[in-house]
Structure 1
Amino acid sequence: MSEGKGRSWLRVKGSKNESRVSFVELFFDLVFVFSVSQLSHGLTEHFSPSGVIETTLLIFAVWWVWIFTAWVTNWLDPDRMPVRVMLFVLMLAGLVLSASIPEAFAEKGLLFACAYVFMQVGRSLFTIYAMKDDAPNRRNFQRIASWVAFSGLFWIAGGFAEGEMRFCFWLFALLIEYIGPAAGFRVPGLGYSTAADWNVSGAHLAERCALFVIICLGEAVLEAGETFAELPLTPLVVVVFITVFIGTVALWWIYFQFGHEHAAHRIEHDDTPGRLGRQAFTYAHIPILAGIIVNVVGNKFAFLHAEETAHMSTSAAIVGGPALFLLGNLWFKGSTTGRLPLSHMAGLVALLLLLVVAPAVEVCQLCMLATLVLVAVAVWEYASLTKVAHPVRPSSHH
């Protein structure tokens, strides 16, 4: 074999399978169904300022470990046995990570930290070895391994600490990791990475993130169905169920009808796909993920407190989920199209106005209004972009 052993684990550039998402990648993603479920359940049970802050940190951590793996499988071929085994090992660690989420700030903090550091550092070290014949990318992952190993010290320290100290250690660790890409993972003696170094398959990265959004929306559907099944069958419960379902469909429509397709095309033809990928997918998808999780919490509140007056915490969940989702899509679509969708900005304003009227309406009514805003945004964007794609021709008859 003329190529080195390490290179045989890489995706073949220019091949028909370069951008294909493999079945083992989809299998790996199933672990994060559990993660999203744990995060939404935990936030529902502890929807307080401290609970929101802690869950936000965990969302950032879960997303970061997933998106780093998505970037790695952009270069490594998951159909190669060593890479496949690596993903299976990460799945096992991911299950441990997910299982420890509810008590990450209690008794299972060290377990969460160890699983997280193992995934981040272990995957980076494996990639360094797999790329031993690809010097530029190998050096990139040497830099990444240095950064995640350094941040790992603070993750582990936080696992041993308690209370506010744990949160501070973990927040500092996350800041290190999130600053890393923007700083080019600069390491003394190894230099730093540039956007041109990250020659990725845009179509693959776009599809990976789209599939992750599907996982999150799937969790929203499952939660709605499970809650509907547990409650007595009344006209009000049926109305809330239909409203929640329509709202979830609207979220899907807003992301997939134009956003995903345009983003995949743009990144695939961009001169520096790494730069665009970092902006549109690595960072912009965080509020999209958070929005879906908070929306699941809001849907739960709509079922359980349908006839109650919408208090501040309930209103924050019901309105905050769609608002975060629109904000993320605004960022995502703005970075891939060069313009901010007016429909999304109007939707954000409308959702903010709902917070003003929330104390005067019932929870189920607020849920309906928030869903109406999402549907209006989806219809507005569809009508405007469809009109652009198919301009109306002037009639020959007067």
Structure 2
Amino acid sequence: MSTSLLRSRDGHHARVGFVELFFDLVFVFAVTQISHTLLAHLTPLGALQAAMMAAAVWWAWIYTSWVTNWLDPERAPVRIALFVLMGAGLLLSTSLPEAFGEKGLWFAVAFASIQVGRTLFMLWAVRHDPMLRRNFLRILCWSSLAGVFWIAGGLSEAQTRLGLWLAALGIEYVSPALSFRVPGLGKAVTADWTVEGGHIAERVGLFVIICLGESVLVTGATFSELTWTTEVVQAAVVAFLGTLAMWWLYFSASHEAASDVIAGADDPGKLARRAYTYCPILIVAGIIVTAVGDELSLMHPTGHVAAEAAAVLIGGPLLFMIGGLLARLAVFERWAVTRLVGAVALAALWLVVPLTTPLGLAAMTTGVMLAVAAWETWQKAPASDA
């Protein structure tokens, strides 16, 4: 019996295991926590803090998805490692609302433990693979450095914590772009990152499903507690159609084509880093912000559109559209005209904010997304031209 914990690469699509899906459940809670926290602190500072939390949650999740692209989730040690990460992820998720308050240290310890602990496990799992082991030694150096800033921030107060955690996120996000360069260890070569395109594409798609599901949960929970006036019912329908539009836009023909492009690329690691590590954070942020906008339009469908309401009602779909635009550019190396037009149309809706209601603005942003999705479907272009 083989003692290797790595997947066997036989040229077939690496199936996403049930334990991977089980692991993802923790992040349903995390995404919900971020949405509720942003809704409760709808200020520039609150938006910055929510963005930082979303970036941290995404980073913890995408790094785990990368390692399970190599690891075989059917092996007992891998499953145990994922269960331990789930426990740390649950601690991270529960501390999110008070991450910049009383539970800052808990959040910092949970996040740093996920990043460093996962890498230590990988060093053991790939101990017989010199190339991967060297890569994860580099990653351990960067994660440990970021961990110092996370913990220091958790021990600090207010603005000091904000600055230290921004520095920590900067270290986390810049390290892959710098190929995890470490003095004495050199830098990683993306051509050596043997990525199975179908698996990584499916994993990111499943995370998007999680976020869309959170949006449906928020809409349903809020709608059930309100008096069902005509305007509230209309707002619920618009919110549902908006979620449907985002699903339609993400899971288009280009989503399937992207995994094929990565699989056939000369440097799949570089392509996957661009398309599935960095770009989706805008898509995820867009879904989270849109969920907040849906809740606002449900609670206050009529009347004047406040500046903060306009920011989330337009900003959420706009972030989602830009994220999809950049992801397509990263994979297919060409601008998607449909998404570019959609982004411009959404941005232009700022001009009508003084003339409409929250429900009207939500309907217009949903209309733009549906129109772009229908346009792309009508085109029926080859996937590589999408």
- Tell me the TM-score range normalised by the shorter chain: over 0.9
- 1:9 correspondence with 2:2: no
Please point out which of 64, 77, 93 is paired with 1:98: 93
Partner of 1:21 in structure 2? Answer: 16
8 Å CA contact retained: 1:262, 1:336: no
Q: Where do 1:206-225 residues align within 5 Å?
A: 206-225=201-220
Partner of 2:28 in structure 1? Answer: 33
8 Å CA contact retained: 1:117, 1:155: yes
Please point out which of 186, 191, 194 is paired with 1:199: 194
Distance 1:346 1:387 in 2: 17
Partner of 2:251 in structure 1? Answer: 256
Give the TM-score of the pair, scaled to structure 1.
Answer: 0.94
Letter in 2 for 1:134: D
Judged with a 3 Å threshold, the aligned counterparts in structure 2 of structure 1 residues 119 and 263 are, in CA distance, closer, same or farther, namely same
Partner of 1:280 in structure 2? Answer: 275
Please point out which of 308, 333, 337 is paired with 1:338: 333
SS in 2 for 1:30: helix
Distance 2:327 2:51 in 1: 20
- Residues 273-324 of structure 1, C-alpha deviations (whole Å, 9 max, x = no match): 1000000000000100000000000001100110121121101100100000
Partner of 1:44 in structure 2? Answer: 39
Partner of 1:60 in structure 2? Answer: 55
Higher-Rg structure is 1
Letter in 1 for 2:250: Y
Q: Where do 1:141-156 residues align within 5 Å?
A: 141-156=136-151
Judged with a 3 Å threshold, the aligned counterparts in structure 2 of structure 1 residues 168 and 312 are, in CA distance, closer, same or farther, namely same
- Residues 48-104 of structure 1, C-alpha deviations (whole Å, 9 max, x = no match): 000001111111111001000000001111110000000000000000000000000
Distance 2:373 2:244 in 1: 10
Distance 1:337 1:94 in 2: 34
Alignment length (residue pairs): 383
The percent identity for this pair of structures is: 50
Distance 1:204 1:323 in 2: 28
8 Å CA contact retained: 2:232, 2:299: no
Partner of 2:175 in structure 1? Answer: 180
Partner of 1:74 in structure 2? Answer: 69
RMSD of aligned alpha carbons:
1.1
Partner of 1:301 in structure 2? Answer: 296
Partner of 1:167 in structure 2? Answer: 162
Give the TM-score of the pair, scaled to structure 2.
Answer: 0.97
State the shift of 1:216 in Å. 0.3
Partner of 1:84 in structure 2? Answer: 79
Distance 2:94 2:55 in 1: 17
State the shift of 1:259 in Å. 3.1
Letter in 1 for 2:45: S
Distance 2:125 2:62 in 1: 19
Distance 1:239 1:251 in 2: 18
Partner of 2:132 in structure 1? Answer: 137
Partner of 1:394 in structure 2? Answer: none
State the shift of 1:135 in Å. 0.9
**Structure 2 gaps, min length 5:** none
State the shift of 1:31 in Å. 0.3
**Structure 1 gaps, min length 5:** 390-398
Distance 1:258 1:223 in 2: 28
Partner of 1:370 in structure 2? Answer: 365
SS in 2 for 1:9: coil
